[in-house]
Amino acid sequence: MLEVNLSGLKLKSPIILASGILGVSFSSMKRVIDAGAGAVTTKSIGPKPRKGYKNPSIIEISPGTFMNSIGLGNPGISEFISEIKEIKKHNIPLIVSVFGDTNEVYLDIAIKAENTGADAIEINISCPHAEVSSIGTDKDLTYEIVKFLKAKLSIPLFVKLNPNVTDIGEIALAAQKGGANGVVAINTFSALKIDVNTKRPILSHGSGGLSGKAIHPIAVKKVFDLYKVLKIPIIGCGGIDSWQDVIEFFLAGASAVQIGTALYKGTEIIKEINDEITQYLKNNEYTSINDIKGLAHQFKTQEVPDFN
């Protein structure tokens, strides 16, 4: 009931590990798969080792809502290849998230990941506390990098979208035009928390990305709007904390989802969500989660009454 086909990737569950959470080592990613995830997305991998920003780099704003400014810390693609090889020994569906400072650097990392066994590439052009966010706010730059990469890659390419834009639809359409096999909606929101006593931002970097429960309704709205204009699959991402959150994304038009922040509770939440989605589908007499995709679009909102 939970199987999905995502641009050729056959997943046992629609739940995918989001980039940036538990995605830097084979052991942590295997824990997520063992808990019932359909695939894992690695932490964003760059051309060389990067320390990221100093602590404090993550804080809890309210229950289930966090702000982070990790700064794309990662071991670099040369070091990470060994982790990819180990993952693929266990036949784990693997999406490698990549970033760089030029299109050529993105390509070099993506090709190395593909040659090592990655099943798909996700390009991070939207991290709100790193330079790559500038790509994801410009439709022309988005189109150019996607087209450039698709010409050389033979595995699916997903684009993680930046919500900190005026029109996310035009960015997504540019990705689709460039040949993207799907989009991830959405990355975190640019945010800032200031300590009133020290009178300075709490995070060492200053601003960060807001994730978790607070952004879920906004993410659902983005997926809902994108479903109206896109022909390629949408992977819903943002604030999943329960089975209802996953169902919401599917009703809005998602073909799969990513979970990240909620894993602070433990990976067991994935099995719980899978079990409860299955029960929901049975209770409503659906044979597959794919049967509910986009159903919210059949609902007509109330029109403004005309008093003339």
Q: Is 237 a catalytic residue?
A: no
- List b or e across 23-51, with b for residues whose CB sees 16 or more CB atoms inside 10 angstroms: bbbbebbbbbbebbbbbbbbbbbbbeebe
CA Rg value for the chain = 19
- The angle at the Cα of 165, spanning 162 to 169, to the nearest 5 degrees, equals 80
- pLDDT means over runs of 10, the chain (308 residues): 97 96 89 97 93 86 92 90 93 94 95 98 81 82 97 98 96 98 96 96 91 97 98 98 98 98 95 98 98 94 67
Report the pLDDT value the prediction gives residue 147, as an integer from 0 to 100. 98
- Domain borders along the chain are 4-298
Q: What is the pLDDT of residues 227-260, one digit of tens each?
A: 999 999 999 999 999 999 999 999 999 999 999 9
58/46 Cα distance (integer angstroms): 21
**Phi/psi at 269 (5° precision):** -60, -30
291/286 Cα distance (integer angstroms): 7
C-alpha distances in angstroms, 70 versus 128, 132, 269? 11, 14, 24
Catalytic one of 17, 127, 173, 240: 127
Percent helix, percent strand, percent coil in the chain, to nearest 5:
40, 20, 40
Q: What is the pLDDT of residues 96-141, one digit of tens each?
A: 999 998 999 999 999 999 999 999 999 999 876 566 667 999 999 9
**Beta partners for residue 59, in sequence order:** 67
Do strands 189-191 and 9-11 pair parallel, antiparallel, or not at all (unpaired)?
unpaired
Domain topology for 4-298: TIM Barrel (3.20.20)
pTM score of the predicted model: 0.94
Mean pLDDT of the chain: 94
User: Residue 279 — left, alpha, or beta (φ > 0 → left; ψ -120 to 50 → alpha)?
Assistant: alpha
**Phi/psi at 114 (5° precision):** -60, -45
